[in-house]
Amino acid sequence: MHLYVIVVTVQDDLRQLRYSLQKLTINESGKTLDVHALDSAIRKTESNIRKHAEDYLKTVTKQVVVLPSIEDLQKKTVQIPKWKPALESIPDVCPQREELPGASPGEKHKSALTMRLLCNPAHPNNRAIMHEKFGISLPDVHKRSTNAAKHSRIITGPVVSLQAIERKGRHTMAVPEEEMRTDKGLLCMSIQHKAASLHHREDSHPSKIGPIGLKYRCLKQLKWETVPGSTSGRTGRECTPLWTTKTPPPSTTSKSIDHKVVMQSTSSLIPKSPQNLPAQVPVSISKYPFTIIKGRINPVATDFSHFKQSFSLCWSSVLDALEALEKLLREFAVPLAKVSGERLVEFGHGWDNGWKKAPPVTGLLSVLENWEEVVSLVSRPGQRYKGEGGIEAAAIHIQSCWRRYFARTAYLRHCRRKWAAGTIVISWLMYAQMRRVRKALQARRFRQLENHRSRAQHLAANWKHIQSSKRTIIHIPSLGYSQSQRLSLRGFEILQNVQISRLCDIRDENVEVIYVCSQHLGEDILHYYSSLLKCDGATDGADTGTTQASSCSRRFVILTPEAVDYFPTHNMCLSTLLKYSPRTLKRIRNLIQGKQAYVVGGVAHVDDLAVADELGVPILAPEPAVAQLYSTKSGGRRIFAGAEVDVPPGQGDIYSLNQLHETLAELMTQNMDVKRWLFKMDSEHGGRGTAYCDVCHLSCYNWALQEYHRHGPELWKAKWIQEAVLLRYLDEIPEWLARYARPAKTSCYSNWACFLKTFLRQGGVVEAYPPSDSVTCLTVDLLLEPGGEVTMMSCGDQLHGSCQLETIGSTVPQTSVHPETLQSICMRVGQACLQRLIIGYVSVDLASFLNHNTKEQKVWAIDLDLTYSDQLAMTQMLLMMTGGTLNCRAGCLQVPMPGREKCCEHQIAAKPPVVNRYAVIGSHLFHSNLSMLYHHVFFKMCKAHGMGFNLKRKQGTVFALYNSCKRCRIGMIAVSEDLQGALVTFARNLSVIHQEISASKTQGETNFKELIKDIENVLQTTVQNKMRAVEEKPAA
């Protein structure tokens, strides 16, 4: 072994000589000494010496021994080996992100037992396990076993033995002091029982690894690029491992990535918290310290030579860690670093055995004695760019930042463009789809309209035949208002069922009725109408909510569309619900199959055509577009003007505020006797869209009256005389309206501002209120037959509640206008409607009053509704119960009385006597407390107070029920021999019902009181008219 020590000493001398020659430059006569030739000679000599030394060791130990390289750390180059070993013999040491598969519990236990045996050199099985696991045959030195640690680059042989020194839980490989005093040519190392771990256990707890390896697996690992100065692969070796070969120069991208990894690793060194700091190294004096100045080691320095000589046998594992440390210090321009030799050896040993990737920066810096100063310097911003390759690293960093910014900007721009393109595409697709759907709907509606027109022509041509034969009438009492109006109506489903009295059309033996109901009726209502119509039919309640007549060939049926359950809160009109109810439509088709049938609707809606087209039957109504045009207030005034009937002074089609003010000023100037002006919305109904304002609040009104009386009625017609009053009105009207105009129903529009906004949006009419203290309004229902005839179906004087412009009931027949005058007005209005292709049921509202100047009665046509009215539906029930006939031309209700004695068989039956009856009809009676009583309890209460109908005398009280759940709305008819008796009976019934269902503290919400007051006024007017008639007879 002395020869081996001599060879190693010679190698060290040659290395120091070459290091000195690299610094030597001699200029003689302008010539430079050829150092490379001398360096080549020294390398050749070194190679020969190492070859002879290895041959000698092979002969002695019969093992391959690799001596450490003597090349300089700063001039190392990596050469690609010329030989190509088999792939199976090359270990896979490439960095892998995946974790190695975990061992089973049995294997872990076996591995732990083996490690304990390896750590105990005195155990008899130690040598066998070393030979079996690592292929190391340990010699028998002084009868003691040796422990050899196998590394991927560790020299093995008979003299390779390591001393394990344990310091506070950290195993460090070192050389005893006793042997340091011996001859340097002899490297004889003793063996102690506490041996160091030969390889790092990956499944062990970090606390058992030591302070250096504590953070190895927790922090990011550093990837070190291979540079020409690296000593990972050393020249002069016979077999250079695969991982030490020199790779091609890295591209700019790879450099950027490597630099990014380095920067990320060093950024983690900033001590954000105590947990991020490297493991605290115990305070101990290192036996082998050396210094690294500016990232370079002086190989001839005494401390480094002493360290290298002490650990020469395991130098290959220490060298890689030392090179990585040097490179890190050079890159960050660390001026001075003090290295602890023991920590470096331990780190190199652990890295060489357990680390498959580049060492972590924190682990490298933990081998330094002044690691705190170095960490603070390394973590300083911009420090990386002051060291080796700093300019290139800065350039790479700037380029990467710029490329990232440029790529991010381009990506965001691409995302915006992509989003914009997607939005445009989706919008275009939606537009195209909507366009296709719109065209399809237009085509379908046009087809439905064409079919409606063809069926209407057939209905007009065969109307007389249909009226005289058996027919089926499909009643659909739909309220086709606009969506905003439907949503604002309370109890909309009940309002669509107010005309349930249409069932009474079966009083004609040739008529069968199919009534479409907007809600499911309870058994109590079905039983009530079954009893009411028992003379002509009976009901048969089915599970589907229908009612059929069991007698008289099942003369009527009540159907409820299934879509009522699908749209309970949408307030859809009945035609729309029926349109989306295929089962109900199929049921109706089966009922009318092979029969003459037509539809009688309500307020016209476009879905009426869809339902009629689905059923294949005509509609006894105008086209929806025509009905929408002439059912407005402005459209009604146009029809009245075409019929040449008297209308209130006014103007329609007002859509702007200036137009409103100018029109109102002009009308007020021309009609000085009018005390109140009305403002009516075009599309509203039932007094909801009406407001009023009295001229008495106008400050200049008295002065205008004086001007009118001064010029006289004849001269006042001249425009130049009215100009002064007109200009004065124009100045005061805006403020006058803002302060004194009031909506008729504040529940719909709380103030004038809200009303005016809707009025100008929908359009409306300004017209005069009749200039009289006693005004009677009446309603006449007309049937405009497709054949061109006009028939008066009903007529009655209106009864009002709290709002004088809202109709709650009426008295039938009317008594305020002479029948002939009424007949003339109605015929002219009916013919004007027929000229405009309006057929079906039409309701005309008239106002009669006494002119103070001429003392003559005047009748104004004030409203026109192209629909089946509530008064007509209640009149059908009245005629059903009395069996009478309403003669509107004569103005009387003729009721046949049953005979007292039966006629003989051979005697011709005489006609029953006919008497006149008067009735008071209330179709919109509302009381919130009615919902507390079930219908059978309500009828018992009425029976206890004598409220009932006498079929023999054809007089009494009849109720109409609309809803089984809420029960707060009812209808009532009171029939008597004279008008005064009917009014008294009706008022008494209201008073009794109110007293029975109300307490002193729970009066409830009702319109009974206002209606009773209006009836009292009518009674007073009736008494006064009778007294005036009695006084006029003696005078005549």
What tokens were used for 484? Answer: 């905003």
User: Which phi and psi angles does 1034 have, rounded to 5°?
Assistant: -60, -35
Whole-angstrom CA distances from 736 to 337, 632, 766, 779 are: 98, 27, 15, 33
Contact 198, 118 (CB under 8 A): yes
Count Cβ atoms below 10 Å from residue 686 Cβ, excluding itself.
Answer: 18
* Cβ-contact 601, 608 below 8 angstroms: yes
Which residues, 6 or more positions from 166, have their beta carbon under 8 angstroms from its beta carbon?
A: 172, 194
Q: What is the CA radius of gyration of the chain?
A: 57
Place of tokens 């920066």: 361
Q: Residue 971 CB: number of other CB atoms within 10 A?
A: 23
pLDDT of residue 713: 86
Q: Which has the closest alpha carbon to 782: 815, 821, 822? A: 822
- Residues in a beta bridge with 860: 847
Positions of E strands within 476-581: 511-516, 547-548, 556-559
The closest alpha carbon to 986, from 960, 1012, 1021, 952, belongs to: 1012
DSSP conformation letters of 746-797: TTT-SSHHHHHHHHHHH-EEEEEPPSSS-EEEEEEEEEE-TTS-EEEEEEEE
pLDDT at 65: 44
CA angle 950/956/961 to nearest 5° reads 105
Tokens of 431: 């537009």
Please report the pLDDT score of residue 222 as a whole number.
35
d(CA 693, CA 691): 7
Beta-carbon-side half-sphere exposure of residue 125 (alpha carbons within 13 Å)? 9
Sequence letter at residue 332: F
Which residue stretches of the chain have pLDDT < 50? 1, 25-32, 62-101, 141-262, 265-282, 354-355, 536-550, 552-553, 901-907
DSSP string, 956-974: EEEEEE--SSS--EEEEEE
- Which 3 state secondary structure label does DSSP give 161? coil
Q: Which residue has the tokens 């809160």?
A: 569
The DSSP code for 137 is -
**What does 893-909 look like in DSSP terms, one character per residue?**
EEEEPPPSSPPPSSSPP
Cα gap 117→109, rounded to integer Å: 13
Non-local (6+) Cβ contacts of 791 within 8 A are 782, 783, 785
pTM of the shown model:
0.64
User: What distance, in Å, lies between the first and last C-alpha atoms of the chain?
Assistant: 169
Residues in the chain: 1036
Q: Residue 804: exposed, middle, or buried by beta-carbon count in 10 A (0-12, 13-18, 19+)?
A: middle
Whether the Cβ atoms of residue 954 and residue 880 lie closer than 8 Å to each other? no
